[in-house]
Amino acid sequence: MERSGAAREMISPQERYAMISEKAYYLGEERRKNQQPADPASDWLVAEAEIDRRISDF
Protein backbone atom coordinates (compact mmCIF):
# COMPACT_ATOMS: atom_id res chain seq x y z
CA MET A 1 0.00 0.00 0.00
CA GLU A 2 2.88 2.39 0.68
CA ARG A 3 4.20 1.78 -2.81
CA SER A 4 1.02 3.03 -4.46
CA GLY A 5 1.10 6.20 -2.40
CA ALA A 6 4.71 6.81 -3.36
CA ALA A 7 3.97 6.16 -7.03
CA ARG A 8 1.05 8.56 -7.03
CA GLU A 9 3.24 11.24 -5.48
CA MET A 10 5.82 10.72 -8.24
CA ILE A 11 3.25 11.27 -11.00
CA SER A 12 1.75 14.74 -11.12
CA PRO A 13 -1.95 15.23 -11.81
CA GLN A 14 -0.99 16.67 -15.20
CA GLU A 15 1.06 13.59 -16.07
CA ARG A 16 -1.76 11.29 -14.96
CA TYR A 17 -4.25 13.27 -17.07
CA ALA A 18 -1.95 13.05 -20.10
CA MET A 19 -1.51 9.31 -19.62
CA ILE A 20 -5.28 8.79 -19.39
CA SER A 21 -5.89 11.02 -22.39
CA GLU A 22 -3.42 9.11 -24.54
CA LYS A 23 -4.82 5.73 -23.52
CA ALA A 24 -8.40 6.90 -24.17
CA TYR A 25 -7.33 8.12 -27.61
CA TYR A 26 -5.92 4.71 -28.50
CA LEU A 27 -9.03 2.96 -27.18
CA GLY A 28 -11.13 5.19 -29.43
CA GLU A 29 -8.87 4.44 -32.39
CA GLU A 30 -9.29 0.73 -31.73
CA ARG A 31 -13.08 1.19 -31.74
CA ARG A 32 -12.90 3.05 -35.03
CA LYS A 33 -10.66 0.40 -36.53
CA ASN A 34 -13.19 -2.26 -35.50
CA GLN A 35 -16.07 -0.15 -36.86
CA GLN A 36 -17.66 0.19 -33.43
CA PRO A 37 -19.62 3.29 -32.42
CA ALA A 38 -17.69 6.04 -30.67
CA ASP A 39 -17.99 6.21 -26.89
CA PRO A 40 -15.49 8.75 -25.56
CA ALA A 41 -16.86 8.68 -22.00
CA SER A 42 -16.47 4.92 -21.78
CA ASP A 43 -13.01 5.09 -23.33
CA TRP A 44 -12.00 7.67 -20.72
CA LEU A 45 -13.31 5.60 -17.81
CA VAL A 46 -11.60 2.44 -19.04
CA ALA A 47 -8.35 4.35 -19.60
CA GLU A 48 -8.56 5.98 -16.18
CA ALA A 49 -9.08 2.63 -14.45
CA GLU A 50 -6.16 1.07 -16.33
CA ILE A 51 -3.78 3.95 -15.65
CA ASP A 52 -4.73 4.07 -11.97
CA ARG A 53 -4.18 0.31 -11.73
CA ARG A 54 -0.77 0.65 -13.35
CA ILE A 55 0.16 3.49 -11.04
CA SER A 56 -0.88 1.52 -7.97
CA ASP A 57 1.11 -1.52 -9.18
CA PHE A 58 4.22 0.63 -9.55
Q: State the sign of the Cα–Cα–Cα–Cα dihedral 43, 54, 26, 32.
A: negative
Its pTM stands at 0.81
Q: What is the pLDDT of residue 27?
A: 98
Could you give the number of structural domains in the chain? 1
- 15 compared with 10, residue with greater pLDDT: 15
- Identity of the residue numbered 50: E
Q: How confident is the model over 16-30, as a mean pLDDT? A: 98
Backbone angles phi, psi at 36, to 5 degrees: -100, 155
**To 10 degrees, the CA torsion angle through 5, 3, 6, 4?**
-40
Q: State the sign of the Cα–Cα–Cα–Cα dihedral 6, 8, 14, 15.
A: positive
Quote the domain boundaries for residue 38: 2-57
- Identity of the residue numbered 4: S
